[in-house]
Amino acid sequence: MIRRHFFLAAALAAVVLMIVVGGIRLLAPAKTDQPGAGQGGAAARATAVSAYTVGQDSFADHIEVLGVAKGRESVTITSNTSELVTAVRFHDGQRVSAGQILVELKATEEDAGVAEAQAALVKAQNDYVRWNTLAEKGIAPRATVEQYRATLDSSKALLAAAKSRKLDRVIRAPFAGVVGLTDVAPGALIAPGAAIVSLDDLSVIRVDFDVPDRYLSVLKEGLTITAHPDAYPGQTFTGRIAKLDSRVDQTTRALKARAEFPNPDGTLRPGMMLRVSVDQGQRTSVAVPEAAVQFEADQPFVFVITDRGGGKLIAEQRPVVIGARERGLIEIRDGLKPGERIVADGVNRIQANRPIRLVGAGGDKAGADGAQGGQRKGGPAGGGR
């Protein structure tokens, strides 16, 4: 009996404790209903962001495509016969002149062929002179003289062929340029068509690239063009459009153009990837930082700061039409006007039509961004550049 009363007392105490705790919880929010408590809660929930005052910036209208660099003249030196190398007359990376001997091949048989052809030519020459003298005296018939004349001409042709075969054993530079790296050494056996060394004329670099046919009215031979190699960030090379192809590709609807860039110091190398740009002028448009533009599916948008009164700021999501991208800025073709304020930092932490609060110097970041842009115009609260 005592044990039963003990359990009943414990259960009663637990029920009383639960009632007390529940009452405390119910009374806690009631205290926040005091004047000013709601505003303090809303302010605490507002997301901290920095603002950017929309201004204008200059953007260049230009065509930008990718191209691959190559020398004004480029060739891979090969042999047209199979033979042993007897001498290599160049070293890696050497600048050579047109006609300079690069490689000599074994020519023992060719030397013997030249000597044999020369001996045959001498004999044919003597026979022709002797029979021609006899014919002039009326002793020998003229037909015999003509036969020896034909033999003489044939001997001359055979000697020329023997000398030509000997010349094939001497490989020369077809034009002036710079040779590359080679593994060919004396004693190596060269097969027909096997690469010996590359030769490039680096004084001028050519770049072939494809341009959509809608730009045909812009492209002209002699037009100034710039190139930005990935290998040299920040460097710009200026050249001109040398030639335009005579046809537009029916499949890609693109025209092939060839640009030439002076390269006296050999900075550009064949095979480099270049970003080629053709400028068409400049324009001034509304611009915002790239970080301020977000995308939902394929639709870009920004968060515009709207004042609802009483110091209450709301982030309004507004779709925009974007254009070019330059120097960390995006051109806004439609959707924003100069002087409006947008969220610059913190766009990933906010939601549309939710309260925000500005942080930083005056809550506006336009002054800092404007100092870095170089051409920014207008925009209150330090937004001008």
Look at residue 4 in the predicted model and tell me its pLDDT: 56
Look at residue 24 in the predicted model and tell me its pLDDT: 67
- Sequence spans of domains, the chain: 44-59+283-373, 64-70+201-282, 108-168
* Amino acid in position 26: L
> Are 282 and 61 spatial neighbours (Cβ–Cβ below 8 Å)?
yes
Condensed to tens digits (0 to 9), the pLDDT of residues 129-144 reads 888 888 888 888 888 8
Residue showing tokens 């040299």:
232
* Higher-pLDDT residue of 242, 18: 242
Evaluated on CA atoms 15, 19, 20, 25, the torsion sign reads positive
Residue 263 CB neighbour total at 10 angstroms? 20
| Domain spanning 64-70+201-282, CATH architecture | Beta Barrel (2.40)
In the predicted model, is pLDDT for residue 9 greater than 80? no
What is the pTM assigned to this prediction? 0.51
Give CA–CA dist 343/49, Å, rounded: 7
Q: What share of the chain is helix, strand, coil (3-state, %, to 5)?
A: 30, 40, 30
Give, to the nearest 10 degrees, the angle between helix 142-167 and helix 108-136: 160
Tell me what the mean pLDDT of segment 31-50 comes to: 55
Hey, what CATH topology would domain 108-168 get? Answer: Helix Hairpins (1.10.287)
DSSP state of 377: B
Residue showing tokens 């070019």:
324
Condensed to tens digits (0 to 9), the pLDDT of residues 178-202 reads 999 999 999 989 888 889 999 999 9
In the predicted model, is pLDDT for residue 28 greater than 90? no
In the predicted model, is pLDDT for residue 44 greater than 60? no
> Mean pLDDT score of the chain, rounded to an integer?
80
Tell me phi and psi for residue 37, to 5 degrees.
Answer: -70, -40
Look at residue 341 in the predicted model and tell me its pLDDT: 84
Using DSSP's 3-state secondary structure scheme, residue 98 falls into coil
DSSP labels, 276-329: EEEEEEEEEEEEEEGGG-EEETTEEEEEEEEE-STT-EEEEEEE-EEEEEETTE
From the candidate CATH numbers 3.30.420.40, 3.90.550.10, 1.10.10.10, 2.40.420.20, the one assigned to the domain spanning 44-59+283-373: 2.40.420.20
Condensed to tens digits (0 to 9), the pLDDT of residues 253-268 reads 888 999 999 998 888 9
Which of 371, 376, 368 has its CA nearest to residue 326? 376
Tokens of 303: 């968060």
In the predicted model, is pLDDT for residue 310 greater than 60? yes
Look at residue 172 in the predicted model and tell me its pLDDT: 92
